[in-house]
Structure 1
């Protein structure tokens, strides 16, 4: 992500796929970790990063709900639902 993207030519988060949003978030984190971004731009990056994080979390929560619905029995009761991370 370059400075031009930060100034307003970013695609709308709602129009991004999960993968695009995650990649954009990773790019923002990289820029902020480098520490060579001016303060005002850092604040803008952080705000966009928070919106991207929230959008990704919302999509993950939605996917989890869909998966749990798929593994539910025909009567709606749990039918072998397991955590997405494979944990016990």
Structure 2
């Protein structure tokens, strides 16, 4: 897969999903699109994981700035 941004990959993934869902696609083409979609999904998931690891919050504790992991709460 060529180097692309998260947004580009996600947009391409959406296009593939629409094709598979709404267009009359031959079996061979469907399999190719499915494989590409899985690859894009994994790429997007990895990018989100990396971003989550990079997200930090700075807080002042006892006059110094401390870097802490930022945990996203799931509801």
TM range (shorter): 0.7 to 0.9
Which residue in 1 is equivalent to 2:24? 36
Report which of the two has the higher share of helix.
Answer: 1
**Coordinate RMSD, CA, aligned:** 2.2
TM-score of the aligned structures, taking structure 1 as reference length:
0.67
Structure 1 residue 71, shift from structure 2 partner: 2.2
Q: Give structure 1 regions of 4+ aligned residues with deviation exceeding 3 angstroms.
A: none
TM-score of the aligned structures, taking structure 2 as reference length:
0.77
Report which of the two has the higher share of strand.
Answer: 2
Matched residue pairs, number?
Answer: 69
In the TM superposition, what whole-angstrom CA distance separates every residue of 1:30-85 from its partner, at most 9, and x where no partner exists? 00001400000000000000000000000000000101xx22773x6x47x341xx
Q: Which has the larger radius of gyration?
A: 2
Query: Which residues of structure 2 form unaligned runs of 5+?
Result: 59-64
Query: Which residues of structure 1 form unaligned runs of 5+?
Result: 1-11
